[in-house]
Homo-oligomer: A and B are copies of this chain.
Amino acid sequence: MFPDMEKVKAIKLDKEMKVSELVERMKDAGFGARKIGRASEIVEKMFDDKECKVFFGLAGAMVPAGMKQIVIDLINEKRIDVLVTTGANLTHDLIEALGEAHWHCDEWDDEEFHEKGYDRMYNVLMKNEVYPMLEDFFEKNWSEFEECDTIRSFLKHVEKLLPKNSNSILKACVENDVQLYCPALADSGIGLMIWGRKAAGKEIFIDAFEDMKEIIDFSWTAKKAGVIYIGGGTPKNFIQQSLQFSKGADYGVQVTQDVEVGGGSSGAPLEEGKSWGKLKKDANFVDVRCDATIAMPLIFS
């Protein structure tokens, strides 16, 4: 490791510096800054590698936190082949596509929020009245969904019903033929809407396992694979298990605040994936332990 040793260079800020320049300089610094720089470089490489299929796992509630547009732009720029996300992200994406918003709060009183009809996600609020709006949307359009038999097809039908110019991850995926998976859709607001119709006696049968075929096939046949994980949870793990059927990822970038020592999949370092065959021996990868809302704008700048 010694021949290539490079010096740490102190970051010199200047008022006119572009984000992309800062990220380059961060690579010359140490600790987490170094990792942001390396992550940006690895992401670039995996995007530029024509043989590489890019799997993007987006956990948490990144949409209410204002990270939606970064994901949409990556999709529109054809950077991503597969997006696996939470029902939460898709629900909030739908809420915004239907015209509602999320709100800042820098202090909180949860009892007061409850009385006033606000639901809190750390320092972001959602109005409780989005639920009747979602109810209306699904109730009114339910006939459209009756034929759906997979989660993927259900989501595609949701997309068809979105307002024309809505700005949405779901829409971007459909328009750009990005494979969109949401294995735990039941665990979300959209899941509740499906439950609501079922509870009211409407018939719909959506298979819980059918979507696995396509993602595993895709993983199996990919010459090369790159993974980007924003948070852990089901999105990361669902991609990781598909990669057991690949040759192992060639590139990897993970952004998480979860701890490694807890033993969970969410906080596990990418390196651990080598034991499982999910990551190649000589893969190019980095773990960034950082708030995703801070790291994402830097890494994808």
**What 0/1 readout, one digit per residue, does chain A (56-90) give for beta carbons within 8 Å of chain B?**
00011100111111100100000000000000100
Copies in the complex: 4
Please determine whether A294 and B26 come into contact, CB atoms closer than 8 angstroms: yes
Interchain CA distance A241-B196 in the complex, whole Å: 13
Interchain CA distance A209-B286 in the complex, whole Å: 36
User: Does A104 have its Cβ within 8 Å of any Cβ on chain B?
Assistant: yes
Q: Find chain B residues with CB under 8 A from A122 CB.
A: 30-31, 260-263, 268, 272
Interchain CA distance A257-B267 in the complex, whole Å: 10
Chain A interface category by residue count: 35 or more
Please determine whether B274 and A30 come into contact, CB atoms closer than 8 angstroms: no
Please determine whether A274 and B114 come into contact, CB atoms closer than 8 angstroms: yes
Interchain CA distance A271-B205 in the complex, whole Å: 36
Please determine whether B198 and A65 come into contact, CB atoms closer than 8 angstroms: no
Interchain CA distance A22-B111 in the complex, whole Å: 34
| Interface members, chain A 1-25 (any B CB < 8 Å) | 1-2, 5-13, 15-20, 22, 25
Q: 19 other contacts beyond A8-B102, A10-B68, A189-B241, with CB at 8 A cut-off? A: A5-B104, A11-B66, A13-B297, A16-B18, A26-B293, A31-B122, A31-B263, A36-B294, A108-B272, A110-B274, A110-B275, A186-B238, A187-B237, A192-B241, A194-B209, A195-B209, A206-B208, A258-B266, A266-B266
